[in-house]
Amino acid sequence: ISIIQVQNLLAQQIPHLQKVGNEQQLIVSGKPFLILGGELGNSTATTMESMEPVWPRLDSLNLNTILVPVYWELLEPKEGEFQYKLVEDLIIEARKHDLKLTFLWFGAWKNSMSSHAPAWVKLDQQRFPRAKSESGESQEILTPFSEETLEAEINAYRHLMRHIKGVDAGHQTVILMQPENEIGMLSSARDHSRLANRKFKEEVPADLIQYFQKNRSELNPEFLEVWKKNGFKTEGNWAEVFGKGLHTDEIFMAYYFAKYTNQISAAGKEEYALPTFVNAALNRPDVKPGDYPSAGPLPHILDVWKAASPEIDFYAPDFYNPRFKHWNDLYVRQDNPLFVPEHRFDNTVAAKALYTIGHYEALGFSPFSIEQIPGEPLSHKEKKLAEVYKVIDQIKPLLNKYRGQGKIEGVLLDKEVSEAKFVLGDYEFTAEHTFNLGWEPDAASEEWEPSGAIIIQTGENEFYFAGFGVSLKMKNLKDKSGRVGILKTDLGCFEDDQWKVYRHLNGDQTHQGRHIRSFVDDVSIQRFELYKYD
C-alpha cells in the first residue's frame, strides 16, 4: 500500500491522545494538533444569530479551536426529542472558519448547579432527586446518586455523540469533549439526600482502596496525609476509613461525581470515542470544603477521580485564581497532560500561552470569554494573544518534532519574578524580563505587562526563541570558563514550515552580542547559534 493510502488511513482515525517521549500529544486527522484556543462565554453560542458577529472576531484572534457549550436543555427540550440543528450549524460554521471545536457538555452540572438540565428534569423532582444540604434543604443541584438521572443524561449524551459522529467523523472538526463543567458540591461539602446518606454508610468500594494501594507511592501527599491519619485503613465505611469530617465528605462526593461522569464519558465513547476531560474550579487555601465547589478534580483529590473515572482522559484547571505555576505543577503529576481550558481573559494570557506550551508542553491553552465585545477594535490583550498564537502556530513543526524530549522550555516573567533559569543541553539560560534592561519606556511604570517565551533546542548549539519581553544570557555547563558567545541571531518566520530570515540581528539588537532579546511590544521568532570561547 502506498504512502498516500497510509496517510488516508491515519486521517480516518478518531482524534486521540498519543504518548510521545515523556509527554502526550493530541492527534487530529492523523497529525499532531496543538490547541490555540478560546472559550466562548456561556450564552453566546445558543443561537446562530447570536454567533454571527462573533465569527469574524474569532478569525482575527488566530485561534485554531473554540470551546463551546452544548446545553442539555437545548439538545433535549422534550424527553426523547432531540434538536441537533444548533450543534450541526456550529460544526459547519466552525469548519468554514477553519476552527476546531471542543464541546462543553453542560449536562447535570454546570459550576456545581444543575442550571442546564432540561425543564422536564427540573420539574420532576421525584424522578430526578435533588442534592440536600446538611440541614436537609433541597438544592438546585441534581444528586449524583440517582440512577434515573444518570440514565436520562447518558441517553442525551449518547444521542449527541452519535450525531457528532454522523456529521463530523469524516472531518474531525470536533476534537475533544468536556462532560459537565466545573463539577463541585456547594454549600455543604456533601450531599445529604436520602440516596447519598445510604451510600455514605456503605463500605468504601474496593476499587478505590485497590487503586490507592497500587499507587500508594504516587498519591498526592495532602491526600495521603488524610488516609495516614486514620491508619491507612482499607475496610469500613467512609467515616471509618478516612475519619469523620469535611475532607471525608469531599472524598466521598469526589468518588461518586467521578463515577457518574465516568459513565457519561464511557457511554459517549461507545458512540464516538473522542477524548474527554473534566475541568476544575480551583480552590483557595484555607477555604473549607463546601465553601468552594468541592469534590471536583482538584489536586488534593485527583487520585480519587483517577481511580473512579478511567474513561476520562485528563483533568484540567480553570484559572481565576493567582499562582499559575503552583497549580499547573499539581496537574502534571501521574501522566496527566496539561490543558488550560479557561483562564480569565486578562493581560497575562499571551505570556501564559507561551509558558504553558513551552514549559509544560501542554495540549493547549484557552482564555475564557474569548469573544469579548464584537464590533469593538481589538484591545491590547487581544492583539497580543493573536500575535502570540500566530508565532506558536509557526513554530508548531519544531514543537511537534522535539516534544517529550526535554528540548523545549517556557518562561513566564513579571515584576515580582523577573528572572528564571533553565537548562537545555549543555547550556544554562538566564531569562529576564526585558524591563530589567530599562530601555523600554514602560520599564519605569508601576505595572509590568507579563512576558513569556518558548525556547527550543534544535541542535547542539542551535536554538529557536519565540516570545516577547524576554532577554536571554547563556553559560556553558560543560566548560570550565562557561563563557558563551552568540555566533549568529536571525529574526524570521516560518513559511510552509521553512525558516525564512527577515533580519540579521546584531548591534543594539543583541547588545553587541551580549544577549538574545525581544522587547515587550515585539512578539518575534529568532533563531540563534551559540559558541564557547576561552
The amino acid present at 9, given as its one-letter code, is L
Neighbours of 53 (CB within 10 A): 13
**Residue 371 touches ligand N0T, criterion: CB under 6 A:** no
Judged by beta carbon, residue 46 or residue 321, the one nearer ligand N0T is 321
> Measured from the CB of residue 76, what is the shortest distance to ligand N0T in angstroms?
20
Is the distance from CB of 276 to CB of 176 less than 8 angstroms?
yes
> Measured from the CB of residue 249, what is the shortest distance to ligand N0T in angstroms?
21
Left (φ > 0), alpha (ψ -120 to 50) or beta: where does 348 sit? alpha
Residue 460 DSSP code: S
* H or E stretch covering 455: strand 451-457
Judged by CB under 6 A, how many residues of this single chain contact ligand N0T? 10
User: Which residue is closest to ligand N0T by CB?
Assistant: 320
**Nine-digit cell at 179?**
462532560
Residue 356 DSSP code: H
Judged by beta carbon, residue 108 or residue 281, the one nearer ligand N0T is 281
Q: Is the dihedral of CA 511, 517, 522, 527 positive or negative?
A: positive
**Residue 45 touches ligand N0T, criterion: CB under 6 A:** no
195-254 residues near ligand N0T, rule: CB under 6 A: none
**Residue 182 touches ligand N0T, criterion: CB under 6 A:** yes
310-329 residues near ligand N0T, rule: CB under 6 A: 318, 320-321
Nearest to 263 by CA among 147, 149, 154, 146: 154
> Measured from the CB of residue 206, what is the shortest distance to ligand N0T in angstroms?
33
Q: Are strands 339-340 and 364-365 parallel, antiparallel or unpaired?
A: parallel
Nearest to 246 by CA among 182, 297, 294: 294
Nearest to 223 by CA among 243, 204, 203: 243
> Measured from the CB of residue 325, what is the shortest distance to ligand N0T in angstroms?
17
Contacts of 45 (CB under 8 A, 6+ apart): 51, 54, 68, 69, 86, 90
> Measured from the CB of residue 299, what is the shortest distance to ligand N0T in angstroms?
16
> Measured from the CB of residue 451, what is the shortest distance to ligand N0T in angstroms?
24
Judged by beta carbon, residue 29 or residue 369, the one nearer ligand N0T is 369
Cα gap 248→259, rounded to integer Å = 17
422-451 residues near ligand N0T, rule: CB under 6 A: none
Judged by beta carbon, residue 345 or residue 448, the one nearer ligand N0T is 345
Task: Spell out, one character per residue from 257 to 296, where the chain touches ligand N0T: x when CB under 6 A holds, - when not.
Answer: ------------------------x---------------
Cα gap 177→132, rounded to integer Å = 29
Judged by beta carbon, residue 318 or residue 432, the one nearer ligand N0T is 318
> Measured from the CB of residue 511, what is the shortest distance to ligand N0T in angstroms?
40
**Nine-digit cell at 466?**
519565540
CA distance from start to end of the chain: 56
Helix%, strand%, coil% for the chain, nearest 5:
35, 30, 35
Judged by beta carbon, residue 29 or residue 321, the one nearer ligand N0T is 321
Task: Spell out, one character per residue from 89 to 118, where the chain touches ligand N0T: x when CB under 6 A holds, - when not.
Answer: ----------------------x-------
Contacts of 248 (CB under 8 A, 6+ apart): 226, 238, 239, 242
Contacts of 276 (CB under 8 A, 6+ apart): 176, 177, 178, 179, 265, 268, 269, 311, 312, 313
Task: Spell out, one character per residue from 124 to 163, where the chain touches ligand N0T: x when CB under 6 A holds, - when not.
Answer: ----------------------------------------
> Measured from the CB of residue 342, what is the shortest distance to ligand N0T in angstroms?
5
Distances (CA, A) of 228 to 71, 203, 220, 242, 458: 41, 18, 12, 9, 46
β-partners of residue 220 are none
> Measured from the CB of residue 52, what is the shortest distance to ligand N0T in angstroms?
22
Distance, C-alpha 382 to centroid of its chain: 19
> Measured from the CB of residue 499, what is the shortest distance to ligand N0T in angstroms?
39
Judged by beta carbon, residue 51 or residue 281, the one nearer ligand N0T is 281
Judged by beta carbon, residue 57 or residue 110, the one nearer ligand N0T is 110
Judged by beta carbon, residue 182 or residue 449, the one nearer ligand N0T is 182
Judged by beta carbon, residue 277 or residue 368, the one nearer ligand N0T is 368
Binder to ligand N0T among 25, 65, 112, 181 (CB under 6 A)? Answer: 181
Binder to ligand N0T among 103, 238, 331, 368 (CB under 6 A)? Answer: 368
> Measured from the CB of residue 298, what is the shortest distance to ligand N0T in angstroms?
13
Residue by residue, what is the 3-state secondary structure of 124-148? Answer: CCCCCCEEECCCCCEEEEECCCCHH
Judged by beta carbon, residue 154 or residue 281, the one nearer ligand N0T is 281
**Residue 366 touches ligand N0T, criterion: CB under 6 A:** no
> Measured from the CB of residue 321, what is the shortest distance to ligand N0T in angstroms?
5
**Residue 342 touches ligand N0T, criterion: CB under 6 A:** yes
Cα gap 348→450, rounded to integer Å = 6
> Measured from the CB of residue 320, what is the shortest distance to ligand N0T in angstroms?
4
Footprint of ligand N0T (CB under 6 A): 42, 111, 181-182, 281, 318, 320-321, 342, 368
